[in-house]
A and B are shown apart, each in its own frame.
Chain A
Amino acid sequence: MSRWWLLVLLWAGLQAHAGVPADPFGSPMWEYNLERYLGADVQVRHDARIDLQVPAFAEDSAQVPLTLDLANFPHRPQRIIAWVDLNPVPHLFTYEPGVTPLRLIALNFRVQQATTVRAAVQDDEGIWHVASAHVDAAGGGCTAPSLTAANPDWERSFGTIRGRAFSRGDHLRYKTSVMHPMDSGMVDNIPAFFIEQVELRDGGEDELLLRLMLSESAAENPMFVFELPHPLAAPRLWMRDNHGNVFERRLEGETG
Chain B
Amino acid sequence: MMRHFLSRLMAPILVGLACATAQAGTDYALEAMEIEPGVWVVEGSTENFSRENGGNIVNTAFLETGAGVVVIDTGPSRRYGEALKRLIEGTTHEPITHVLLTHHHPDHVFGNQAFDPDTLYMLDTAKELLRRDGEAFADNMYRLVGDWMRGTEIIMPEKTLHPGEWEVGNRRLHLLEFTGHTGSDLVVFDEESKVLFAADLVFHDRALTTPQSPGLTTWIEDLELLEALPFRWLVPGHGAPSMGNMALQQTRDYLAWLDEALTRAASEGWSMTEVTAMDIPSRFDALEGSRYELTRTVTHLYPAYEKAALMLLE
Contact B313 A251 (CB under 8 A): yes
Q: How far is the CB of B145 from chain A (nearest CB, A)?
A: 8
> A67-B271, A140-B292, A161-B313 given as contacts; is B277 within 8 A of A59 (CB)?
no
Is A65 among interface residues, defined by CB-CB distance under 8 A?
yes
Chain A 66-87 interface residues, beta-carbon cutoff 8 Å to B: 66-67
Tally of A-B Cβ pairs under 8 angstroms: 132
Is A162 among interface residues, defined by CB-CB distance under 8 A?
yes
Stretch at the interface among B21-29, B92-100, B215-223, B295-303: B295-303
Is A38 among interface residues, defined by CB-CB distance under 8 A?
no
Query: When the two chains form the complex, which single residue of A60, A145, A164, A166 contacts B133, counting CB atoms closer than 8 Å?
Result: A145
Q: How far is the CB of A116 from chain B (nearest CB, A)?
A: 11
Which residues in B have their C-beta under 8 angstroms from that of A229?
Answer: none
> A177-B307, A177-B310, A251-B313 given as contacts; is B273 within 8 A of A26 (CB)?
no
Centre residue among A54, A144, A145, A250 by max chain B CB count within 10 A:
A144
Is B169 among interface residues, defined by CB-CB distance under 8 A?
no
Q: How far is the CB of B167 from chain A (nearest CB, A)?
A: 34
Give Cα A25–Cα B274 distance, bound, in whole angstroms: 23
Q: How far is the CB of B209 from chain A (nearest CB, A)?
A: 5
Q: How far is the CB of A121 from chain B (nearest CB, A)?
A: 17
Contact A141 B49 (CB under 8 A): yes
Which residues in B have their C-beta under 8 angstroms from that of A56?
Answer: 295
> A23-B1, A223-B306 given as contacts; is B272 within 8 A of A59 (CB)?
no
A-B contact pairs, 14 of them (CB 8 A): A26-B8, A65-B298, A139-B296, A140-B211, A140-B293, A142-B140, A143-B211, A144-B132, A144-B212, A164-B309, A166-B269, A177-B307, A256-B267, A256-B268
If A141-B106, A162-B311 are given as contacts, then 14 extra A-B residue pairs at C-beta distance below 8 Å, sorted by A number, are A23-B1, A55-B295, A59-B211, A59-B296, A65-B276, A67-B273, A138-B143, A139-B292, A141-B137, A144-B136, A144-B211, A177-B306, A225-B271, A255-B311
> Which residue numbers of B lie inside 8 Å of A, CB to CB?
1-2, 4-5, 8, 48-49, 55, 105-107, 132-133, 136-137, 140-141, 143-144, 209, 211-212, 267-269, 271-274, 276-277, 292-293, 295-296, 298-300, 303, 306-307, 309-314
